[in-house]
Every structure is written in structure tokens, then in C-alpha cells.
Amino acid sequence: MKKLFYKILPLAYGQYFNIYAFFSPKKTAKKAFYFFCTIRKGRVLPHQKEYLETAKKEVITVADHNLQTYHWPGDRETVLLVHGWESNTFRWRNLIHKLKEANYNIIAFDAPGHGYSTGKYLYVPLYAEALQKIITQYNPKHLIGHSIGGMTILYNEYKNESSPVEKIVTLGSPSEFYKLMDHYQGLLQYNDTVMTAMDIYIKDRFGFHVNEFSTATYAKTNTKKGLLFHDKLDKITPYIDSKDVHENWKNSTFITTEGLGHSMHQEHVNDQIIDFLKE
């Protein structure tokens, strides 16, 4: 019964927006956009608290959001960790262990609306604004991003090419915004009126159409050294997206896995990241 409820609920919202768009497409677009960006989990859970509390650093304000940062000190270059959708800094615990062993200086932060950071919504331009503020504050040499975190890193690199970053790692990251929106449309069964109105809203607000946002395209101008991981059986983000990014990113290496899933916490993945940073 519960599963049926959660299957029907998105369709009910979709029908509401479909009808509302007939009378007010602009207002519908804004409401549908924020529904898309609403965060429903990713706050710090009880078993995560002790680990994160010991590393808490300063709180940084970006776009009226208070972002919690974390620090694990080391003598080598600074590495900045950027987590994915509905996650938080705790997701990096296995990699942090490896980075500490290698004596890297580690900085991480909770995205708006995630972990200990304030907010209810997250979208890539906001995440990129937060990321750029953290980069300016801590001057990292290396960036590592999972899922939407990796997408955000590549978008921000395209927008801010003069950053001090030398190496970038992405794990299971999407590339094409239109694929995310297609999935969203399928989930809620939006009609084309809603989707067209959302596209216009996104263009007016952020300066790009849905089908223009592509980290595979942005990668063409990326001069940094890159390492991309993606699992062929990833059920969350398409494997082809990282493959396309790699093909356009001249100075990148692409590692294909099979059966590791989307999270990619495995030790041998983390070992390869450390080796890449040490090169």
C-alpha cells in the first residue's frame, strides 16, 4: 500500500501542474522548478554525527545559505571534496581515510540543504556558486566530485577557468541536463506545456536552455588533468555521460567499472584516486 502511495503521489502532482500550466505557465514553471530542486534527504543521520563533529570547521555564507565546512589537516596539497544529491560529507569517509594516510590537506563542505548546511533546494548554478566560494577561500589544487558534485565541478570550471585547480576527479557524474529533465517529466507525467515553460524559466534565470547545459560540451575547453570513473551498470546516472565527457576532455583518463554501482566507495577506486593525485 505504501509503495502504491509513493507511486501515485508524483502523478498527482504532475496532473496538478499540467492543469495549472494552462492558466499560468510562468507560475507553473517556477513551482515545477522548485519541486524538482527540493531536497528530501541528506541531512546528518545519528550514526554520522560523531565522525563529522570532530572535523567541523567554519561556516561560510553563500547566497543566503550557511554552509558547513570540514577540515582534516595534512602537509600535502589541499583536496576539496564535493558530494552528490541528497548526500553529505560523510559519504567521503573511506576516501578521507586514504587521503589522510597520504597526508593530504582535506577540505569538504555540505551543499545547500544537505548535512549541516541550511536550505531546502539545490540546483547546479547554486552549487557552483557555493563551490567557487570554497575554492576562493581554501585554494585547493585538486577537486573530487561524486554524481551531481562532479557535474557541478565541471560546470564551475567552465565558468571560472582561472581557478587554482590542477586536477579533477569525477565519479558517476551526469553530463546532460536534458536527461535529468526527461526523467523528471517521465516521473510526473508532465505535458509539453509544463516542460516548455520550465525551459523558458531556466533560460531567463540562468542564461541557458535545458539542452544547452552539457558538461561534455564544457569539457572541450578544460585544460586541467582529469580522471573519470563510471560504472556500466550505474542505475542513477548514464554511463555514456562520463564517456562523452572524456572524449571531449583532452587531458582526461576514463576508468570503466562493472558492478560497483553508483556510490563507488570501493578501496581500489580510492587507491586509484590517490595514485592519480600523486602523479
Number of structural domains (the chain) is: 2
Q: Which of 14-23, 87-96, 183-192, 210-219 has the lowest mean pLDDT?
A: 14-23
Q: Is residue 88 part of a domain?
A: yes
pLDDT band at 113 (very low <50, low <70, confident <90, very high): very high
Please indicate, yes or no, whether residues 74 and 138 belong to a single structural domain of this protein: yes
Kind of pairing between the strands at 167-171 and 142-146: parallel
Among left, alpha and beta (phi > 0; psi -120 to 50; other), residue 231 is beta
Residue 209, in any domain of the structure: no
6 plus 116 within the same structural domain: no
With cut-offs at 50, 70 and 90, classify the pLDDT of residue 9: low
124 and 80 co-located in one domain: yes
Residues 22 and 143 in one domain: no
pLDDT at site 5: 37
Is 71 a member of any domain?
Answer: yes
Same structural domain, 228 and 129: yes
> How far apart, in Å, are the Cα atoms of 71 and each of 82, 138, 185, 208?
13, 10, 39, 35
Q: Which residues pair with residue 105 across a beta bridge?
A: 78
* pLDDT score, position 33: 95
Same domain, 237 and 140: yes
Tell me: do 222 and 133 sit in the same domain. Answer: yes
pTM of the predicted model as reported, rounded to 2 decimal places = 0.94
Same-domain status, 21 and 129? no
pLDDT of amino acid 219: 97
**Is residue 208 in some structural domain?**
no
pLDDT score of 1: 42
Q: Give the CATH number of the domain where residue 153 resides.
A: 3.40.50.1820
The mean pLDDT of 243-255, rounded to a whole number, is 98
Residue 207 falls inside a structural domain: no
Where in the sequence is the domain holding 32, given as residue range(s)? 1-37+178-200
269 pLDDT band, cuts 50/70/90, is: very high
What is the pLDDT averaged over residues 185-206? 94
| Percentage with pLDDT > 90 across the chain | 88
pLDDT one-digit tens code per residue, 145-189: 999 999 999 999 999 977 789 999 999 999 999 999 999 999 888
**Same structural domain for residues 267 and 130?**
yes
Listed residue (84, 79, 128) closest to 106, CA to CA: 79
Question: What's the grid cell of residue 80?
Answer: 576539496
Examine the domain organization and report whether 3 and 116 are in the same domain: no
Mean per-residue pLDDT, 177-206:
94
